[in-house]
Structure 1
Amino acid sequence: MIALPPAPATRLTVAPMMDWTDRHCRVFHRLLAPNARLYTEMVHAQAVIHGDRERLLGFDPVEHPVALQLGGSDPAHLAQATRIGADWGYDEVNLNVGCPSDRVQAGRFGACLMKEPSLVADCVATMAAAASVPVTVKCRLGVDEMEDYGVFRRFIDTVASAGCGLFVVHARKAWLQGLSPKENREIPPLRYDWVHQLKRERPDLRVLINGGLATVEDAVAQLATLDGVMIGRAAYHEPYRLHLMDRAMFAPEQAPRPRAELLRALRPYVEDCRGRGIAVKHLTRHLLGLFHGQPGGRAYRQVLSEGAPRADAGWDLLERALAVTERREDAA
């Protein structure tokens, strides 16, 4: 029997983003989106096995439900890393079959695995056998010259037959040569129709869509036919939008919480981190976009950016940044 996360827990998910979705970012996102499923940055299976696990895998209990995303292509290593992740308390383990970076390709994992569906299936089967948590896959529509929906569906069918019941599909293909990771998020055209066709033809699979979903309306509209959406850079650069999405999907009868109220709810976490010697700059870098497009938003970012590197910076810095926005709101 394929293990799957509860259906409501996949309606809204926040994408794994390298150098961004660390534990501090995820705690902030949990405040904004109490019902979303959060993902770690991608961690290579070998790093999980041999690296500093507290640094790589540690998370705050408030982050649940939270998924560990793994990179790799060796079934035995991925199985061991999955077992370790489950022992650490992760609610899901996700295999990255979508990252197109040169470094990832050199290690034979990420998007290049779209060309090796049987290997991905072997990886998923051993991962699923290693632990009882759901094993899921994040993939693309294809890579390079792969322009055939049938090839994409056969990839999904092959991997699903190995025990994967949930796919997060970035609705673009990737070019493995000639485009940077940033360009691969922007230049290949979005093909939402392929993702919707997959769900129609494989209704027993849980299918989530990722890519280009920047507005609340765009995200909610996908839920009419798909099982969920994954939001990436829009949630990071304009985090209040994530809060609006969570409200729209799970509690539309409730008014959104004000930005300042949400930020002040982070105070106990900030003060706990400071008490453990964690510099506030590691937290504030994730907060810069909270007042994007609002009166005082630029001044808010300036206060945080200039003050966070100070060794004595603490919660008072965030209050000063909030005070700037409140003055601008009063003036407006």
Structure 2
Amino acid sequence: MDNVLEAPPLEESLSGNAIKLRKRLLRNVGQAIADFNMIEDGDTVLVCCSGGKDSYTLLTLLMALRERAPVDFRIIAMNLDQKQPGFPAEVLPAYFESIGVEYRIVTEDTYSIVKEKVPEGKTTCALCSRLRRGIIYRTARELGATKIALGHHREDLLETLFLNMFFGGKIKAMPPKLQSDNGEHIVIRPLAYCAEADVARFARAMDYPIIPCNLCGTQENAQRKQIKALLADWERNFPGRIESLATALQNVVPSHLADGNLFNFKTLDRGAVNGDGDLVFDEEAATTIASPVTETIRWMSRGVEQ
């Protein structure tokens, strides 16, 4: 989109604080849509709704933005009923009908497959995610959806970045916009600029009928939960760190990393001029860079020593 989407009129039922929060979320989503050209005229957007706070919020904001969007697009909400024991299958259809959104409920017993294939006590997320992704792609194809919208927020992107660095040896996160491996689908994450805390507060204000995911059981030691706790601890001790990390995802300097596929180090010569500059020995730059992170480094060092 050429322009950032503007927020539509706000519901009178929300409190003053909730209205301000909604405005901020709408602004962030509109900015993300504009920055990455997520939604175009004539798109059919399949919004994946799990019954959690993130997907409820995503659906609400996209429906609101559609009212004043500079382009025309269709929204179809989708829920995958994975046949988990005790899953309240009536909740989401009733909610979708109450807000007047077009929807599709897909029923597939992935629960039995996951429980059969994954040993007791092991993390089920990877297999569950792969199965779910395949079904979502199939449904998008059946419905003629041109975009698939997922409810991943800012912290989800950062958690994935650190998971890949710590456990995968890659500097790789969740992109706000992604092409599927076969090139057939475009996946978008309109909440990419939205803080998880804002999404959680908005979900409470909206009083969504939240459906917990019980498939995973208690996996407190799962790697993603460890990373989530680490980032939350950083933010508590040093407010602003999460925002800085999120900004860093959009400020990559290939010449100051070590990937020869991104920057040709082999042909680097004394006569070459690098537009990114060499800030390693620049006193002013070093001071600017060091000042906001010095305490973080000291704090992390203490943690390692302990």
TM over 0.5: no
Of structures 1 and 2, the one with the larger relative CO (CA 8 A, separation 6+) is: 2
Q: TM-score, normalised by structure 1?
A: 0.27
Structure index of larger Rg? 2
If the length of structure 2 is used for normalisation, what is the TM-score?
Answer: 0.29
